[in-house]
Structure 1
């Protein structure tokens, strides 16, 4: 009798209606998420497919390979990266590898330097009270953030004159220095929130046990703040890897980066969309790999309040 009653309750109209609403809600949520994923990934898909198109396919807007168009290695062949040219001598491929190396060295070095300097500055702002005239800690933090408000074009002439006098034009070291300055304010704000979420009692207990301030910072605070530092590093690397204005302004031959090379894919007959697409995909592939490998650290950093 009890089983019969439970079965009747289980199959009651109210229960079926509740399950239907719950299923409809979940279906709507997943449908929205899938739609948004398609919207976000479509530019990458378009870039990949365009790298395998010919000029008529690009102009006609063909999208689906083997349905709208037959894939072709034209874009990769123009960079010396197709299967039939990868074993041959290619000046364009050598230039691509040099630009890739320049971007890698400049972005990684500047991001690591910005995270190191920014973490020290952020730790000081979160643990100590400063006074410079009328400026206090919140004012100093806002001063760092205000550096992002200034348009880069305003700094073009001063930096160009300064770099010319210091012989830093068209050098990797010059790019590293200016990239570090551009992402340092963001790192300071990210790491300030990260350090602010760590209880000071942990450091006080470490100093009671005999550690210095630097010892407590290196052995206690940094391991806890590591996810936020990784998130700040990845964000800095993405920004510096894609930076175009200063790279185009302050480089000419030796230190040219990938964004400048991508923008230069033009000729007498117009833009080589297939070559630009192949070069763009080769440029964003390292960032995709880094994002996938370090995804768990990004999530931990965001969950800890490092990214807002």
Structure 2
């Protein structure tokens, strides 16, 4: 339509050039931003195939600036020549990977379930606790994120020692669930607030209970927002390092702790750290690709602000 207008009016060539220039500028900025966002991943991948001199030189392009080698993956027992043989490091990686998977998935799912119920209540009913009303209660949940983790280190360390939760998966699951619960509540509260009350009222008139209306009417509509909240919680819990390093030692260590341990008397093994880091983020990339449409729907519905 725009091209037809410009074709019908040859004197408007400057306007047509301006229109194309604006599109080129917009897509150029988007490509630049995409390159900036993807560059750390590219740097991590290439570093896993570098030797020590190449890492220090800051080379970028494989087969141009440096010759790729399997040094980083070989140190983890994940290179083509070591994948078929027994490797202690690879076994340790699989144990840490399973710890991260179980802890992150369980805590994120629990946070989404509990947070969705709390958010639904805050968006549909009026509560009063002392001087606090619904907005005050919502802000109270969010205020739990104000304290830095180091302030909570000693209380949790003493508490977990008394409860025998140190170096256990269940200990990290409980802690991670509490840590991401405020974010889920705020995300889902906005999601439920955008769903018209008339849908539930119609369901109640048809004979459904409040739980029935929530499960059959509200929940399917809010599903994209729940998926977006779940992915955000999963990323935060998967990458959490401080409490994982503080409260675990042997049995419940996660991948971030293993990544940070790639140091020795001769310095940091950047190639091993890069290979381990990329292997750790592959599951998040796969989940993001598979659930992309839910993320977009959740963002478009106002779930992520």
Bigger radius of gyration, 1 or 2? 1
| Cα deviation digits, residues 48-94 of structure 1 (max 9, x gap) | 00000000000011110000000000000000000000000000000
CA distance in 1, matches of 2:134, 2:224: 24
Q: Secondary structure at the match of 2:108?
A: helix
Which residue of structure 1 lines up, in the alignment, with residue 191 of structure 2? 194
Which residue of structure 1 lines up, in the alignment, with residue 113 of structure 2? 116
1:73 maps onto 2:70 in alignment? yes
| Cα deviation digits, residues 126-160 of structure 1 (max 9, x gap) | 00000011000000000000000011111101101
- Give unpaired runs (5+ residues) of structure 1: 1-5
Which residue of structure 2 lines up, in the alignment, with residue 300 of structure 1? 297
Which residue of structure 1 lines up, in the alignment, with residue 205 of structure 2? 208
CA distance in 2, matches of 1:11, 1:133: 69
Q: 2:162 aligns with which of 143, 162, 165?
A: 165
- Structure-to-structure mapping, 1:263-282, within 5 angstroms: 263-282=260-279
- Structure-to-structure mapping, 1:98-117, within 5 angstroms: 98-117=95-114
CA distance in 2, matches of 1:134, 1:74: 62
- Structure-to-structure mapping, 1:1-308, within 5 angstroms: 10=8, 12=10, 14-308=11-305
CA distance in 2, matches of 1:307, 1:42: 24
Contact 2:187/2:303, CA 8 A, preserved across alignment: yes
Q: Which runs of 4+ in 1 moved over 6 A?
A: 6-9
| Number of equivalent positions | 302
| Cα deviation digits, residues 98-129 of structure 1 (max 9, x gap) | 00000000000000000000000000000000
Give 1:8 deviation, angstroms.
11
TM-score (norm 1): 0.96
TM-score (norm 2): 0.97
Q: Secondary structure at the match of 1:88?
A: coil
| Cα deviation digits, residues 145-195 of structure 1 (max 9, x gap) | 000001111110110111111111000111100000000000000000000
Q: Secondary structure at the match of 1:38?
A: helix
Give 1:30 deviation, angstroms.
1.0
User: Aligned-residue CA RMSD in angstroms?
Assistant: 1.4
CA distance in 1, matches of 2:199, 2:129: 29
Q: Secondary structure at the match of 2:188?
A: helix
Give 1:16 deviation, angstroms.
1.7
- Give unpaired runs (5+ residues) of structure 2: none
Q: Secondary structure at the match of 2:229?
A: helix
